[in-house]
Amino acid sequence: MSAILDVQNVSKRFGGLTAVKNVSFSLAPGELTGILGPNGAGKTTLFNLLTGFIPADSGSIRFEGQELRGLAPYKIVNRGVARTFQLTRPFLGMTVLQNVIVACLSPRARDAHDKEARAQQLLDQVGLGAKAGDAVETLPYGDLRRLEIARALATKPNLLLLDEPFAGLGSSEIEPLAQLIRRLHREQNLTILLIEHKLREFMALVSRVIAIDFGEIIAVAAPADIVRDPRVIEAYIGRTEAEHAPA
């Protein structure tokens, strides 16, 4: 089966700093893959490159056979690639439901006849159904994450990019969110690519891990193997003190 996402030699420099260096990888349809790397490794930059928020200096990004590089972000979304942000920025001054309706108004999602009903359905899917009428400012942090996902799902993506979905969540909130991701992956056969720098969450969730450090891919393996990869260990022991590879 051909890859749904094919990234070839993508690079990005900011002045003297190479944030992403010759990154190449591909995703098979329906895979749940993780990108692992310490802070500053270039993970979010990579996401921004894939989704058009930052222009890549070189390389090619092919999704479902079509080149994405050079397209405006909203166009990429309408091809079927959705993303969440690490720092959720909802539309203030509106209700939770309205936040999702906005995404239902994109060209890709627009054919659904009753936007409100569809938005409510999406909120139900992520577990926010009861809070649809609330002002978005009243949502706790964990719920904002779910709202992000609902908003991303509204655009009917075939590929979902999740940027550190577990960041800042308390231990009781992590597992329900992981279950939600798992459920979405299973029920909708979505291809999911997620960024995290906490290993523990990866282990149970993804089938394959791409490890990145200093903008380059240093290893690609199954979760169980990646923790034994010497380069990955070095990248972590040398960098973070908080979450590191469990034995």
Partner 1 sequence: MTRVSLIDLAGAIVVVAVLALTPMLLNSNYLTGVLTVCAIYAIWAASWDFMSGLTGRENFGHSLFIGAGAYTAGFLATVWFANPWYSLPAAVVIAVAFSLIVGFPTLRLRGPYFALAMLTASAIMQRLCLIFWEYSGGEEGLYGLEPLILSPLHYYWFVLAVLVAAVAILTALANSHWGLLLRAIRGDEATCQAAGINVTFYKMASLMISAAFAGLGGALYAHYQLQVSPPLFSVVVSITVIIMVYVGGIGSIYGPAMGAILLTLLTEMLRGFGEYRLWIYTLTLMLILFFLPNGLIAPLWRRLAERLR
Which residues here bind partner 1, judged by CB under 8 A? 51, 53, 72-75, 77-78, 82-85, 89-94, 98-99, 101-103, 105-109, 115, 151-152, 154-155
Q: Are 84 and 166 in contact (CB under 8 A)?
A: no
Least distance from C-beta 80 to partner 1, angstroms? 10
- Taking the least distance from each CB to partner 1, the nearer of 119 and 211 is 119
For residues 175 and 150, give the distance between their C-alpha atoms in angstroms, rounded to a whole number.
18
Nearest CB to partner 1, comparing residues 109 and 232: 109
Q: What minimum distance in Å lies between the beta carbon of 244 and partner 1?
A: 32
Of the two residues 33 and 51, which places its CB atom closer to partner 1 in the complex?
51
Contact criterion met (CB below 8 Å) for 34 and 209: yes
Burial of 150: CB neighbours in 10 Å, binned 0-12, 13-18, 19+: buried
List the strands of the sheet with 216-221, edge to edge: 81-83, 159-163, 191-196, 32-36, 208-213, 216-221
Task: Give 153 or 226: the residue with its C-beta nearer to partner 1.
Answer: 153
Give the nearer residue to partner 1 in terms of CB position, either 15 or 93: 93
CB of 115 to partner 1, least distance (A): 7
Rounded to a whole number of angstroms, the minimum distance from the CB of residue 22 to partner 1 is: 26
Minimum distance of partner 1 from residue 16's CB (angstroms): 26
Q: How far is the CB of 104 from partner 1 (least distance, A)?
A: 9
Task: Compute φ and ψ for 27, nearest 5 degrees.
Answer: -115, 130
22: left (phi over 0), alpha (psi -120 to 50) or beta: left
CB nearer partner 1, residue 144 or residue 199: 144
**How far are the Cα atoms of 18, 39, 114, 136 from residue 99, in angstroms, in the given order?**
36, 30, 15, 8
CB 18 within 8 A of CB 10: no
Question: What are the tokens at 54?
Answer: 């930052």
